[in-house]
């Protein structure tokens, strides 16, 4: 038993070192912009860059739009399938897994072929149309995570009985979704939202190929032309992702507790 624990800790330590060393090295390198001293110069340079502010703001807005559309799409769909079409759940699970199998580059080329300026729906013909297309792309990329988060939240409550209880009290579908279902899966939705946020902030392929001014292509551009700033940017991107993960952990504590059958 004791030997097993030692082995466990050893493998954990090797894994942690493999993960932490590059991060520490990157962070250390990002602080060495001024010769002979550790400073935050690279960070100040990045933060003061108008393109950083522009691309970061753009990606944050895209992330918020993606989350809003994703929630509106996924929550009613997952709810309805759980309530009325339980036999279709495996199909939906498969469909929501497809973005993990199909590379984003294939998806975005498909988009460009379908929605180019000479197509029946020329979304790429305007900046707003392309933004919309990019947002739909992000919704697809985040679908495996958002759907699973929401479905797990729905599994924790008795969807059918709560729905019937609300119906018997006079509630219609919108009231049931807004006041009974959504508040009870809010923490699950938030978890999905934070993962979506992290995905959108770091996404490169779709934004680059649709030529939108987002944070991912900016990181790539900076990496190709500067030395210390890309390292600072990588640390910032990590901090955002980890911040999102910490928020998921934090909000999970506020999930509504299902009443016990009997005390």
Partner 1 sequence: MPEPFLSIQHVRKSFGATTVVQDFNLDVEAGEFVSFLGPSGCGKTTVLRMVAGFEEPSAGRIVIGGKDVTALKPNQRNIGMVFQAYALFPNLTVAQNIGFGLKVAGVPKAEIDSRVAEMLDIIKLPAGEFGNRYPYQLSGGQQQRIALARALAPRPKVLLLDEPLSALDAKVRVSLREEIRSIQKKLGITTIFVTHDQEEALSISDRIVVMYGGKVEQVGAAFEIYNRPATRFVAGFVGTLNVLEGTLGPAGKVQLGSGAFSLRQEPEGVRAGDALSLALRPEAIALGHREGNDAMLSGEIADVHFLGSVIRVRVRVGDSIVSLDTFNNPATPPPQIGDHVEISFSSGDVLLLN
**Site residues (vs partner 1, CB under 8 A):** 157-158, 161-162, 164-172, 175, 179-180, 183-184, 186, 256-263
Minimum CB distance to partner 1, residue 171 (Å): 5
List Cα–Cα distances, 33 to 162, 183, 210, 223, in angstroms.
Answer: 59, 48, 33, 15
Minimum CB distance to partner 1, residue 243 (Å): 26
- For partner 1, the closer of residues 31 and 180 by Cβ is 180
Minimum CB distance to partner 1, residue 260 (Å): 6
Spell out a b/e string for 121-140, using b for 16 or more CB atoms within 10 Å of the CB, else e. eebbeeeeebbbbbbbbbbb
**DSSP letter for each residue of 179-233:** IIIHHHTHHHHHHHHHHHHHHHHH--HHHHHTT---HHHHHHHHHHH-SHHHHHH
- For partner 1, the closer of residues 27 and 162 by Cβ is 162
- For partner 1, the closer of residues 77 and 167 by Cβ is 167
Minimum CB distance to partner 1, residue 245 (Å): 25
Minimum CB distance to partner 1, residue 93 (Å): 25
- For partner 1, the closer of residues 51 and 155 by Cβ is 155
Q: What is the Cα–Cα distance from 216 to 239, expressed in whole angstroms?
A: 15
- For partner 1, the closer of residues 90 and 259 by Cβ is 259
* Best CA proximity match to 151, nearest among 210, 96, 78, 88: 78
- Tokens 């699950």, residue located: 188
């Amino acid at each position: 038993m004791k030997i097993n624990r030692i082995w466990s800790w050893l493998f954990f330590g090797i894994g942690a070192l493999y993960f932490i060393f590059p991060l520490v090295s990157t962070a250390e390198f990002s602080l060495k912009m001024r010769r002979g001293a550790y400073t935050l110069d690279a960070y100040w340079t990045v933060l003061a860059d108008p393109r950083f502010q522009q691309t970061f703001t753009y990606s944050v807005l895209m992330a918020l739009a993606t989350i809003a559309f994703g929630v509106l799409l996924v929550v009613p769909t997952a709810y309805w399938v759980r309530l009325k079409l339980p036999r279709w759940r495996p199909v939906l699970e498969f469909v929501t897994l497809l973005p993990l199998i199909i590379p984003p580059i294939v998806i975005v080329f498909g988009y460009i072929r379908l929605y180019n300026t000479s197509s029946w729906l020329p979304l790429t013909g305007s900046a707003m149309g392309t933004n919309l297309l990019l947002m739909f792309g992000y919704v697809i990329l985040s679908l495996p995570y958002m759907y699973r988060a929401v479905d797990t939240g729905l599994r924790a409550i008795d969807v059918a009985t709560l729905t019937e209880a609300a119906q018997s009290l006079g509630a219609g579908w919108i009231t049931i979704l807004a006041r009974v279902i959504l508040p009870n899966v809010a923490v699950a939705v938030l978890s999905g939202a934070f993962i979506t946020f992290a995905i959108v902030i770091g996404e490169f392929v779709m934004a680059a190929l649709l030529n939108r001014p987002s944070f991912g292509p900016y990181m790539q551009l900076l990496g190709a032309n500067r030395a210390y700033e890309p390292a600072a940017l990588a640390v910032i991107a990590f901090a955002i992702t980890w911040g999102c993960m910490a928020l998921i952990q934090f909000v999970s504590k506020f999930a509504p507790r299902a009443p016990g059958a009997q005390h």
